[in-house]
Amino acid sequence: MKRLIGIAGMPGAGKSAIFEVAPKFNIPVVSMGDIVRHETLKRGLELTPENVGNTAVELRKEYGKEAIAVFCLKYIEEKYKDEDIVIIEGIRSMYEVDYFRKHYPLTIVAIHSSPKTRFKRLKKRKREDDTSEWEAFVERDMRELGFTIGNVISLADYMIVNEEEDYNTYLKNLENVLKKIISSWEKENSGEPGGI
């Protein structure tokens, strides 16, 4: 039975660190943000914060509030049909959570960082859809919160705080949480008590 691990967090919280940790477990990672960026480009739009944000909103208008999850799951079932575990980076709404859970067991890991820390990181990161303006950053946060990402974070199965501490410590924490999830599934499968 395929199982999903969802990584949730506000922009700049440190979700993409999962791409560094997952290979240690041979688990593929699919980014929901990449799916939105891909759709933005397909619509002939430049990758700006505004265009990517608007594409996410448009997709939800066209296909329902779980739209990105629909595209994401289709991609997973085509590309990773033989994988037992797939990590989904960037879950943003309870509608997406519910959609994934209708099809497969899903465990949510939330990454939390303060707005100031996240803003500093985004300015440093300089991805096409990032902003270096505080007002635009707050606007993006509000849009994300409008997708009900706050509910996903507060109802997560695991929470990792990623503030100013050493990056390697954060990676280690992420790795430990993945180990816990995998071992609880193994216990569950063997019938031992202690599964999630």
The reply to whether 94 sits in an annotated binding site is no
Residues 11 and 139 sit within 8 Å (Cβ to Cβ): no
Q: What is the CA radius of gyration of the chain?
A: 17
The reply to whether 56 sits in an annotated binding site is no
Tokens of 159: 């929470």
The reply to whether 136 sits in an annotated binding site is no
User: Using CA atoms, how far apart are residues 37 and 75, in angstroms rounded to an integer?
Assistant: 14
Report H helices in 29-161. Answer: 32-42, 49-63, 67-79, 94-103, 115-125, 134-146, 149-154
The reply to whether 14 sits in an annotated binding site is yes
Tokens 């990454």: give the residue: 111
The reply to whether 1 sits in an annotated binding site is no
Q: Tell which residue, 160, 126, 122, has the closest CA to residue 139.
A: 122
The reply to whether 15 sits in an annotated binding site is yes
Tokens of 166: 């050493």
3-class DSSP assignment, residue 160: strand
Q: What b/e sequence results for 150-174 when a residue is b if at least 16 CB atoms lie within 10 Å of its CB, and e otherwise?
A: eebbeebbbebebeeeeeeebbebb
| Binding-site sequence positions | 9-16
| Binding-site sequence positions for ATP | 9-16
